[in-house]
Structure 1
Amino acid sequence: MKKGELVEALAQATGESQATAARHLDAFIDVISQQLSSGDEVTITGFGSFKASKRAARTGRNPSTGESMDIPESTAVRFTPGAKLKAAVNGQ
């Protein structure tokens, strides 16, 4: 499902227009992004939690040439699904 399809499904589920659903989805994404970039965790009970975690700098290898290369430190976003989401995906 792409973003446009998600907006359409949200609009149908809520009875709102697609424009309103798109604004709500964009606001949701912005709030989560802001919280993660400030170092906070976002937990939605039953759905899951989003957390930013640091990856240390390390040395890797270029797979095509075999040369060593430095990979800089970065921040990754981790998602841990909640119990209700796991149950829904597993058909329970």
Structure 2
Amino acid sequence: MTCTKSTLIEKISNIFDQNPSQSKEVLETLIEIMKSTLASGEDIMVSGFGKFQVIEKSPRKGRNPATGDAMILEKRRVVTFKCAGKLKNKINEELQ
């Protein structure tokens, strides 16, 4: 099952015995901070969780899947996530 924003809000509300609107405000603020940080090109490192990093992609040749026409894809920035060792271990605990 996918954990959605509303699920996170509900869980935060339950853990901290908060009003859901307060939890929503906290989560929305966190997301806005993360978006503006990444948009400025800075990385976000959350100890024990992982690192969100902005990577510059160079222009490259591509193909339109609908028409098959060759095209040049413009340079762009993408966000990548690298999992921390603690999180990786936690995820793989379930398999053992």
TM exceeds 0.5?
Answer: yes
Question: Are 1:27 and 2:32 matched, yes or no?
Answer: no
Percent identity between the two aligned chains: 28
- Separation of aligned partners in 2, 1:14 and 1:88: 23
Q: Distance in 2 between matches of 1:87 and 1:12?
A: 26
Name the TM-score, length of structure 1 as normaliser. 0.90
In structure 1, distance between residues paired with 2:16 and 2:87: 20
Aligned alpha-carbon RMSD (Å): 1.3
Q: Distance in 2 between matches of 1:78 and 1:45?
A: 16
Give the C-alpha shift of residue 42 in structure 1: 0.8
Mapping for residues 6-25 of structure 1, pairs under 5 Å: 6-25=8-27
Unmatched tracts of structure 1, length 5 or more: none
Task: Map 1:1-92 onto structure 2 (within 5 A).
Answer: 1-91=3-93
Q: Which runs of 5+ in 2 are unaligned?
A: none
Residue aligned with 1:65, SS: coil
In the TM superposition, structure 1's runs of 4+ consecutive aligned residues that sit over 3 Å from their partners are none
**With structure 2 as the length reference, what TM-score do the two structures score?**
0.87
AA aligned to 1:86 is K
CA distance in 1 between partners of 2:93 and 2:60 (Å): 40
2-structure distance, mates of 1:91, 1:18 = 32
